[in-house]
Amino acid sequence: MHRFFYRFTFTCFILFSFSTQSRAVDSLAANSAFQFLDEPVIPRLVGMGYAGTAFGDGGFSFVNPAQPYLAERPSIQIGYSPMPGDLTVPFFEIAWITSDFFWGLHGSNYAINNIIPATEQGPDPTNPFSYSFSLASIDAGFTFDRGAVGVTVNGIQERIETSSRLGISVSAGGLYRIIPGKLTGGVAFLNEGTVSAFTYDVDVQGEREKLPRSGRLGLAYTDTIWRFPVNAACDAVYRDVGNGSYAAPDIVPRMTVPLGLEIWPTDNVALRVGKRINFETEVVNFGAGLRLRPLTFDMAFVVTQFQGDVEIKPTFGLTYALGAPMPGKSASVQKPPTPPVKPAEMPAVLPKNDSAAIPPAKPLLPAIIPDSVHAVQQPKDSSALKTPAVPDTAHGAPVVPLAPGANSVAPAPMDPLGVPAKVNAAAADSAKSDKPPR
């Protein structure tokens, strides 16, 4: 935990050291095209209401430079967003992660073509022009036991017809797994930097401005409800727009609260819904995802309302996952762990010389009992002498009654194993002659 704060403090020091360059006078930068820095086009992030400070696997340029740490595996994503007003946004993003560090690339271009200029005499369709806002970002960071920190450098260009201006900014962020596999927290400081004045041919128009900065705090929670994996995310975002102008908060609210919910009804389908509370134009966000490894298709829609007009902003993306999942990274769809298999216990070995622990051996051949052994002791009553002989069902020989005055028959001699000696001798002779004993 101490390593996290030390490294994150060092990252923030680099970030704010960069911001010591000269500042411009107050201006309503929030009303310029740099509002696009608050408009991510990553479909999964959009469907979650832009709540991505501690959640997701895309959009590090917009929500948290440490976000690639949350990715399950390296990936490449491409997408397209046909927004209202003939605004089109193609984009791509690459995130590469290892056990110790990560890096990423992002590129997007917000463009409107065939704009008809207007003068005091009216529209002039013979001289259309175009507008574009381009963002290129490079991201890098390192990981530790339960978290990560990252830094993003953004290059920005805004162009209107032949006039353009350039900007550069730095963002920093961190992530920490508060409860591994359940609760994750994130913090980020975004877009510390400036943009140059417009240049028209060789003429400089306007003054340099600082970019609209923002700070974010977020939590993301993962659990299973009725056997369905669920992800919930909540952010608190402060936007430092307007460069201190008192009119800016009346136009663009400074504090917003993005919320998002994602549920996986099956291993391949995800449903999402979200909303940016206190955002000036948005009503609700929703989206879905279809995952067929290694490809994932995501789409999202934003219902917007501005001055009574309701419109829908769609965005679509296709992600290709590279390689196997990183160790220790949990997939979006969680599965119960397999219980460990215990090795079978070996039976205890009895001592060789302990005769008490060895049960008595049994004869290998069935004992053959001679007919004389079947003679049993008879009562002294004389009436018992008149009882006829009873056939011996086991050997077919009659049982001979005892003679008067005889009490018993002497038992046959036994060997140490309890088998008559005569029987064992007969069995031994039979084994030598290959004949059954008699």
Q: What residue spans define the domains of the chain?
A: 2-321
Residues of the chain with pLDDT > 90: what percent? 41
DSSP per-residue codes, 302-324:
EEEEETTEEEEEEEEEEEEE-SS
- Asked whether residue 390 carries a pLDDT value surpassing 80, the answer given is no
Residue 433, number of CB atoms within 10 A of its CB = 8
Distance, in Å, from the CA atom of 184 to the CA atom of 190, rounded to the nearest integer, reads 19
What is the radius of gyration, based on Cα positions, of the chain? 44
Residue 11 pLDDT: 40
Give Cβ neighbours of residue 135 (< 8 Å, ≥ 6 apart). Answer: 36, 37, 61, 106, 107, 108, 109, 154, 155, 156
Maximum alpha-carbon separation in the chain? 155
Return the residue matching tokens 């060997």: 415
Does residue 38 carry a pLDDT above 90? no
pLDDT digits 0-9 by tens, 311-361:
899 999 999 998 777 665 544 444 444 455 555 555 555 455 544 445 555
Buried b (16+ CB within 10 A) or exposed e, 142-178: ebeeebbbbbbbbebbbbbeeeebebebbbbbbbbbe
Higher pLDDT, 377 or 6: 377
For domain 2-321, give the CATH number.
2.40.160.40
Burial degree of 211 (CB within 10 A; 0-12, 13-18, 19+): buried
What would the pLDDT profile of 163-210 be if each residue is shown by its tens digit? 888 999 999 999 999 999 999 999 999 999 988 877 765 556 556 778
pLDDT at residue 337, as a whole number: 44
227: amino acid identity, one letter: R
Q: What pLDDT sits at residue 40?
A: 86
| 8-state DSSP, 19 | T
Q: Give the whole-angstrom CA distance, residue 269 versus residue 267.
A: 6
Q: Sign of dihedral through CA atoms 414, 420, 422, 424?
A: negative
| pLDDT band per the 50, 70, 90 thresholds, residue 301 | very high
